[in-house]
Amino acid sequence: MKLILLGAPGAGKGTQAEKICEKLNIPAISTGNILRAAVKDGTEMGLKAKSYMDAGQLVPDEVVIGIIKDRLNDDDCKNGFILDGFPRTIPQAQALLDSGVDIDKVIDIEVPDEAITKRMSGRRVCSKCANSYHIEYKKPKVEGICDACGGELIQRKDDAPQTVLDRLVEYHKMTEPLKGFYENLGKLKVVEGQEDVADTTKLVFAALED
């Protein structure tokens, strides 16, 4: 199955992508994680992306379109994939459509802005493997340490309160119009993402089968 997860920053796309990945055994592709890894490695792409990401703005379309085109050619994407964080603008969605990739479903996870800002302050991510946790809703077994690799858990730079607000403004302006784009293609499924993680997962799985 070829899926897109849409939703505001912090709506739970990465969290639900992990659950779908386990259920369907298809890779979850997060443009955010790919870009953060490039920033950490100091690659040319990372240097280009860093200032946009730190400011809560979108990285230019040509950069992320290139990333996704390369990644979708990998062998592990042959039986399907989950796109988490792509597309995020109409030109990105159009580029995906024009490249002939036939998306089966687009799941939009809806969470009000107030709930997002509250959630983001509690998110912690692994400094080594990028696994994501929450100080209240998804605690690691040992405080401050990643369950998967033992790496140190840190707060993402773009989870600072003002940057979260800037990312929400960018989301409403640039990404929200994608709902109409995919609704017109008959691909859009909307789920409420305000429930706890397990209940949201049930709604996401129901949307997959719908």
195 is in an annotated binding site: yes
- Beta-sheet strand order (sheet of 153-154): 132-134, 123-126, 153-154
Joined together, the tokens standing for residue 54 give 């730190």
What are the structure tokens assigned to 90, written together? 């109409």
Catalytic pick from 88, 119, 124, 189? 88
Three-state SS at 60: coil
How many angstroms separate the first and last alpha carbons of the chain? 13
On whether the CB atoms of residues 68 and 96 are closer than 8 A, the answer is yes
Burial class (CB in 10 A: 0-12, 13-18, 19+), 200: buried
Please pick, among 2, 13, 119, 124, the residue that the annotation labels catalytic. 13
Q: Which is nearer to ligand AP5, 52 or 205 (CB)?
A: 52
Contacts of 181 (CB under 8 A, 6+ apart): 90, 93
Under the rule (CB under 6 A), what is the footprint of ligand AP5? 7, 9-15, 30-32, 35, 52-53, 56-59, 64, 85-88, 92, 119, 123, 132, 134, 137-138, 158, 167, 193, 195-197, 200
In angstroms, what is the minimal distance from the CB of 21 to ligand AP5? 12
Tell me if 126 is assigned to a ligand binding site.
Answer: yes
- Give the nearer residue to ligand AP5 in terms of CB position, either 26 or 124: 124
Instruction: Please say if 173 is a catalytic residue.
Output: no
Flag whether 156 is marked binding: yes
57 known ligand binder: yes
Residue whose C-beta lies closest to ligand AP5: 32
Ligand-binding annotation for 112, yes or no, is no
Catalytic residue flag (residue 71): no
- The residue from 2, 50, 124, 167 that is catalytic is 167
Count other Cβ atoms within 10 Å, centred on residue 95. 20
User: Is position 124 annotated as part of the catalytic site?
Assistant: no
Question: Does residue 119 carry a catalytic annotation?
Answer: no
Amino acid at residue number 21: C
DSSP state of 172: I
Give min distance, CB of 141 to ligand AP5, in A. Answer: 15
Using alpha carbons, list the distances in angstroms from residue 181 to 22, 91, 169: 28, 11, 19
Shortest spacing between CB 57 and ligand AP5, in angstroms: 6
CA proximity to 97, closest of 7, 6, 181: 181
Closest to ligand AP5 by CB, 2 vs 119, is 119
Supply the minimum distance, in Å, between the C-beta of residue 73 and ligand AP5. 18
Q: Is 133 annotated among the ligand-binding residues?
A: yes
> Would you list which residues are annotated within the binding site for ATP?
10-15, 123, 132-133, 195
Query: Which active-site residues does the annotation give?
Result: 13, 88, 123, 156, 167
